[in-house]
């Protein structure tokens, strides 16, 4: 009888252990939707912030009077985004996504000047004029295009921490500044607040 | 123990079942928790380290996720010392990312809280001063790259992680990050914000001076040469040198069961300023920048202290009860044997066995505080600023004999640096005292690569 009970007890323990310790669904690498918060979270900027910000800014900017009521497509120079938070990150991920989405969805209603390629552009122009490479004279301009507007972005952050957890509030703002008058003709913002609570062993 | 089964008259297997249940509970409490991952962090897998740093890479791989931050920081320090800034950046970036992971109610954290496992079984993120110093080094690297806003972000994170300190008055009381934020603001042509940052730095410095003196006497903290104020920095300043002095604060488990964490100065004899010369000319003495030991020693209590305290009480209580039961049981059993009373002897033996079980249980409770530490950190940081002649300059940093002794007697470190025109940026040097060259196990032994785990 004792042997039966002990065996039964051991069996129940084994089953419980086997089910309790069953490996949860794990992964090494997998593709996920960048527009959704993933399993790996941080209080800093995340991919869904990039996607949501770009989506919001594109719609807002294309609906603005600067673009919708302009007779000619305005030329825009994208400036580096300023990071005024406590997180160090590549700000270019925001500007790259935003500029590409604007170019894609604007259908020619605005144009960006490629200031990041200025050295290559100048070298090509010189090579053309020196006869080193062929080109269409009809396409010739006195100089490279200037920007009617600067598109400038920044993110400001406010972090708090206490024994109860941490929170981070971030305000992302982009504005369109007339490069002649300096007047800000359009601006919009996207803000997000995240909270996290680390386990007590880390506090 | 002498109770019988009502059905068949056999003794009930209560002790055996109890032990089995205990083992089962222990397994369920901790054994099922997912062990930290092994190998190197995913973001660091493609990094090739120099021959000198390979032992650290092997350690990173062998100790896995539990010590990723600790070993990545050691690699970063070794790489910085070798002048391999790219590797240092990769290691610190990875480390920062891991520090920022929020371990909510994770299995690993539950395991560290469990009475069956030591606190050090948790994934190491470091104490607030260690997390802050991770950001400090990354921020200095951003400064060197003239990425001012990301440098500023890192120095803000230095302050943020210090805000986890339990003592309200010691939250965000670092000095150097405020000063370096001011440097960033100057470079970004934001004079108002720069002024504000320098004012905050001066205020933090004054508070530090007032708070540090008592530590020198009561905790034998290194004696520092402290001036009245921090060196002025303006838009014409084009050279900034950050020096490192003394040894890292050490962690020590104290209390009756090692449940309390104490920080002791690692600095030894003290810190004297270093001297910075440009192309062999002049000699700017460094000013105090920050005290890592002070930051470690003033953090106050930790959230986990309460848990470890309870565990220590449980262990102490079980130990005491077990000892008394063993002793009492032995006496009763001996009396039973001598008086020829089988029932008394059996009862004494039972109490003795229960006491032994209780004592055994107490030894399984693990209240010891986590003493893993970033041993390569300095005790304190110094700064020197000047307006130097633009161009490639040889910067020579002469350390005091006390600091040099840490590394084998060589007092001078030299580095070539491109100094910009005044108003066009600032060249930033992170100076290490030169290492002693001694071969230990085929590799150059460098105290800055020390890791304690």
Residue B6 has pLDDT above 50, yes or no: no
Per residue in A10-46, pLDDT tens? Answer: 555 555 444 444 444 455 678 889 999 887 788 899 9
Does the beta-carbon distance from A2 to B13 stay under 8 Å? yes
Which of the four pLDDT bands, split at 50, 70 and 90, describes residue B34?
low
Instruction: Provide the pLDDT for residue B374.
Output: 92
Does the beta-carbon distance from A21 to B113 stay under 8 Å? no
Q: Which of B153, B174, B308 is the best residue to mutate to test the A interface, defined by the most A CB atoms within 10 Å of its own CB?
A: B153
Of the CA atoms within 13 Å of residue B65, those in its CB half-sphere come to 13
Which residue of A2, A42, A201 is in closest CB contact with B10?
Answer: A2
CA distance B394 to chain A (A): 31
Per residue in B121-160, pLDDT tens? Answer: 788 889 899 999 999 999 999 999 999 999 999 999 999 8
Which of the four pLDDT bands, split at 50, 70 and 90, describes residue B38?
confident
pLDDT (mean) for B99-114: 72
The reply to whether A16 touches chain B by the CB within 8 Å rule is yes
Confirm if B192 and B199 have CB atoms less than 8 A apart. Answer: no
Instruction: Provide the pLDDT for residue A88.
Output: 92
Instruction: Provide the pLDDT for residue A25.
Output: 47
Tell me if the domain spanning A43-202 has CATH number 3.40.50.10610: yes
| Percentage of residues in chain B having pLDDT higher than 70 | 76
Instruction: Provide the pLDDT for residue B387.
Output: 94
pLDDT (mean) for B262-274: 72
What is the phi/psi pair of residue B299, to 5°? -75, -20
- pTM metric for this prediction: 0.79
Per residue in B8-28, pLDDT tens? Answer: 444 444 444 554 444 444 444
Does the beta-carbon distance from B153 to A200 stay under 8 Å? no
Instruction: Provide the pLDDT for residue A23.
Output: 46
The reply to whether B359 touches chain A by the CB within 8 Å rule is no
Q: Which residues, including other chains, have CB under 8 Å from residue B306's CB and lie 6 or more apart?
A: none
Residue B353 has pLDDT above 50, yes or no: yes
Owner of token pair 């840490």: B406
CA distance B358 to chain A (A): 23
Per residue in B369-401, pLDDT tens? Answer: 788 999 889 888 999 999 999 999 999 998 877
The reply to whether B104 touches chain A by the CB within 8 Å rule is yes
Mean pLDDT of chain B: 80
Does the beta-carbon distance from B122 to A83 stay under 8 Å? no
The reply to whether B25 touches chain A by the CB within 8 Å rule is no
What is the phi/psi pair of residue B117, to 5°? -125, 150
Per residue in B290-339, pLDDT tens? Answer: 989 888 888 766 666 667 777 777 777 877 888 888 888 888 888 888 88
Mean pLDDT of residues grouped by 10 in chain A (203 residues)?
Answer: 56 50 57 86 90 96 92 94 93 95 94 95 94 89 94 94 85 97 97 86 69
Confirm if B157 and B116 have CB atoms less than 8 A apart. Answer: no
Residue B444 has pLDDT above 70, yes or no: no
DSSP state of A39: S
CA distance A152 to chain B (A): 15
Which residue of A87, A91, A197 is in closest CB contact with B104?
Answer: A197
The reply to whether B247 touches chain A by the CB within 8 Å rule is no
With beta carbons under 8 A apart, name residues in chain B contacting A2: 10, 13
Q: Which residue has the higher pLDDT, B444 or B45?
A: B45
Owner of token pair 């014409």: B236
With beta carbons under 8 A apart, name residues in chain B contacting A17: 24, 27-28, 32
Which of the four pLDDT bands, split at 50, 70 and 90, describes residue B220?
low
First to last CA, chain B: 45
Closest chain B residue to A15 measured between Cα atoms? B24
Per residue in B171-180, pLDDT tens? Answer: 668 999 999 9
Of B44, B148, B147, B150, give the one whose Cα is nearest residue B87: B44
Residue B168 has pLDDT above 80, yes or no: no
The helices-and-strands tally (H runs, E runs) of chain A is: 5, 6
With beta carbons under 8 A apart, name residues in chain B contacting A161: 160, 163-164
What distances in angstroms separate CA A71 from CA A60, A64, A66, A101, B309, one per listed residue?
Answer: 19, 14, 10, 22, 74
Sign of the dihedral defined by the CA atoms of residues A17, A18, A19, A23, in that order? positive
Of A163, A199, A157, A161, give the one whose Cα is nearest residue B160: A161
Closest chain B residue to A83 measured between Cα atoms? B149
Distance, CA of B299 to CA of B164 (rounded, Å): 8
Instruction: Provide the pLDDT for residue B335.
Output: 87
Beta strands in B246-313 (DSSP E): 250-254, 260-264, 275-278, 281-285, 287-291
């Amino acid at each position: 009888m004792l042997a039966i009970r002990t065996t039964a007890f051991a069996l129940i323990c084994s089953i419980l252990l086997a089910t309790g310790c069953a490996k949860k669904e794990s992964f090494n690498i997998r593709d996920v939707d960048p527009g959704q918060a993933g399993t790996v979270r941080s209080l800093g900027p995340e991919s869904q912030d990039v996607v949501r910000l770009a989506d919001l800014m594109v719609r807002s900017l294309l609906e603005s009077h600067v673009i919708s009521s302009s007779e000619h497509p305005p030329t825009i120079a994208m400036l580096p985004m300023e990071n005024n938070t406590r997180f160090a990150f590549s700000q270019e991920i925001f500007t790259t996504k935003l500029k590409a989405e604007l170019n894609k969805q604007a259908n020619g209603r605005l144009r960006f000047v490629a200031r990041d390629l200025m050295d290559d552009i100048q070298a090509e122009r010189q090579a053309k004029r020196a006869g080193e490479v062929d080109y269409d004279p009809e396409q010739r301009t006195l100089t490279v295009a200037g920007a009617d507007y600067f598109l400038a972005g920044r993110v400001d952050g406010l972090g708090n921490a206490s024994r109860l957890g941490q929170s981070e509030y971030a305000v992302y703002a982009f504005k369109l500044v007339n490069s002649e008058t300096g007047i800000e003709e359009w601006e919009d913002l996207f803000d997000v607040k995240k909270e996290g609570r680390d386990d007590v062993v880390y506090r | 123990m002498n109770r019988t089964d009502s059905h068949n008259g056999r003794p009930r297997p209560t002790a055996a079942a109890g032990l089995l249940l205990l083992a089962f509970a222990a397994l369920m409490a901790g054994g099922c928790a997912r062990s930290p991952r092994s190998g190197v962090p995913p973001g660091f897998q493609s990094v090739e380290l120099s021959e000198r740093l390979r032992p650290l890479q092997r350690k990173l791989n062998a100790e896995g996720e539990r010590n990723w931050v600790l070993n990545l920081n050691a690699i970063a320090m070794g790489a910085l010392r070798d002048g391999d800034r790219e590797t240092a950046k990769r290691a610190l970036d990875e480390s920062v990312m891991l520090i920022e992971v929020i371990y909510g109610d994770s299995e690993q954290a539950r395991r560290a809280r469990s009475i069956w496992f030591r606190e050090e079984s948790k994934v190491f993120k470091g104490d607030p001063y260690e997390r802050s110093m991770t950001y400090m080094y990354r921020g200095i690297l951003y400064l060197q790259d003239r990425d001012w806003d990301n440098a500023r972000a890192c120095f803000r994170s230095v302050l943020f992680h210090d805000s986890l300190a339990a003592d309200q008055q010691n939250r965000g009381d670092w000095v150097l990050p405020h000063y370096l934020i001011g440097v960033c603001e100057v470079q970004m042509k934001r004079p108002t914000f720069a002024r504000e940052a320098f004012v905050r730095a001066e205020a933090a410095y004054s508070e530090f001076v007032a708070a540090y003196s008592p530590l020198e006497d009561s905790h034998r903290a290194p004696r520092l040469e402290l001036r009245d104020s921090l060196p002025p920095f303006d838009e014409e300043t084009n050279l900034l040198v950050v020096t490192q002095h003394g040894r890292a604060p050490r962690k020590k488990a104290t209390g009756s069961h090692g449940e309390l964490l104490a920080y002791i100065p690692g600095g030894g004899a003290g810190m004297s300023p270093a001297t910075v010369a440009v192309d062999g000319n002049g000699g700017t003495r460094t000013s105090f920048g920050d005290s890592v030991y002070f930051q470690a020693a003033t953090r106050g209590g930790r959230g986990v202290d309460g848990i470890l305290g309870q565990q220590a009480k449980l262990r102490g209580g079980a130990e005491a009860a077990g000892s008394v039961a063993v002793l009492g049981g032995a006496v009763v059993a001996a009396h039973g044997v001598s008086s020829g009373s089988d029932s008394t002897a059996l009862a004494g033996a039972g109490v003795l066995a229960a006491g032994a079980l209780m004592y055994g249980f107490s030894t399984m409770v693990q209240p010891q505080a986590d003493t893993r530490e970033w041993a390569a950190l300095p005790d304190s940081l110094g700064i020197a600023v000047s307006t130097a002649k633009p161009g490639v300059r040889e910067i020579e940093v002469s350390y005091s004999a006390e600091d040099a002794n840490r590394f084998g007697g060589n007092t001078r470190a030299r580095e070539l640096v491109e100094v910009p025109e005044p108003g066009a940026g600032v060249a930033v040097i992170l100076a290490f005292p030169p290492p002693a060259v001694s071969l230990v196990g085929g590799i150059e032994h460098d105290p800055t690569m020390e890791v304690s785990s």
